Structure 1
Amino acid sequence: MFRKMRLESNQTTEEEVIEMLNGATNGVLAVQGDEGYPYTVPLSFAYQDGKIYFHSTAETSHKIESISKNPKVSFCVVTQDQILPEAFNTLYRSVVLFGKARVLTEPADIARGIRPIVSKYSGEFMKEAGAYMKAEAGKFCVVEIEIEHMTGKAGS
């Protein structure tokens, strides 16, 4: 169903893929947008247990409406991009994954999805985060991507 990587020698291990996902601070989500056009949007995210989580401040955003129409998504993270002009080359490390996204609706699911995001970006403020999330409840939604296929690539 999913294509094999053309240059298998550049493929990273699953452990390296997870390391890249945990270390990256942003990624690019791709959805099928309006009238079939691809729509990509950079966003903050967290990886946990084979899933990607992110939040959105509006359930009527382009990305959320697109996910509601077609849950199939792709997500990309680039953790290294160093141009070597003298070698006409680039050092790179990246992850591309495919999966199905869904907006979480149950309070327990929302809490489960927002926890890794808060931990990743504001881990030292977890105590304060609880009060903040309660105050902001209803002003954001949390999306979970169930990963179906992911590959990492590194090389020059």
Structure 2
Amino acid sequence: MTMRRNKQALCQEECEQVLRRATSGVLSLTSLDGFPYGVPLSYALVDGVIVFHGALEGQKIDCIRRDNRASFCVVDADDVIPEKYTTAYRSVIVKGRIAIVTDEKQKHDLCIALAKRFYPDESAAEVEYAQFASRLCLMVLTPEQITGKMGLELMQRKEQAQ
């Protein structure tokens, strides 16, 4: 689907920058009753895939097992400009398939990469992983489509800076 306001579209490099800068987003899945289910999560972009962690069971896991299609939305700018009745925003939406990681080495490596994104002490991450690995679920969203958009205010600022 083509973006209606394509002048405001982010290029793929800008989308990746947003995904690297932001620390959380909303993962949207289809719930068991067919309604959308959105859950805020921290994440890491690792080798082109988006990595999440969570409990081994629960609504999110049930949804993924039923239908692995997912959408993930990240907003990394959201400045309200009240006098103009607008917002200077920048956001990215990733659509793709999400999978539960079952390979133990991959689970370990992705978990350490996720942990290092927020706290760079790898030895501390290893200690935490050893303690919680048996109760931890790692999920990987493989992007099929990545789109991004910025509000007119940010677009104008960007054009003025060039």
TM-score normalised to the size of structure 2?
0.90
Are residues 1:112 and 2:112 paired?
A: no
Q: Which amino acid aligns with 2:104?
A: P
Q: Which runs of 4+ in 1 moved over 4 A?
A: none
Q: Which amino acid aligns with 1:90?
A: T
Name the larger-Rg structure.
2
Bigger shift: 127-136 or 72-81?
Answer: 127-136
Identity of aligned residues (%): 32
Distance 1:112 1:17 in 2: 24
Which residue of structure 2 lines up, in the alignment, with residue 131 of structure 1? Answer: 127
Residue 155 (structure 1) shift: 2.0
Which residue of structure 1 lines up, in the alignment, with residue 63 of structure 2? Answer: 66
Distance 1:152 1:115 in 2: 28
Secondary structure of 1:35's match?
Answer: coil
Which residue of structure 2 lines up, in the alignment, with residue 33 of structure 1? Answer: 31
Name structure 1 gaps, 5 residues minimum: none
Match for residue 88 of structure 1 among 85, 88, 92: 85
Which residue of structure 1 lines up, in the alignment, with residue 143 of structure 2? Answer: 147
> Does the CA-based 8 Å contact 1:113-1:143 persist in structure 2?
no
> Does the CA-based 8 Å contact 2:93-2:147 persist in structure 1?
yes
TM-score normalised to the size of structure 1?
0.93
Name structure 2 gaps, 5 residues minimum: 153-162
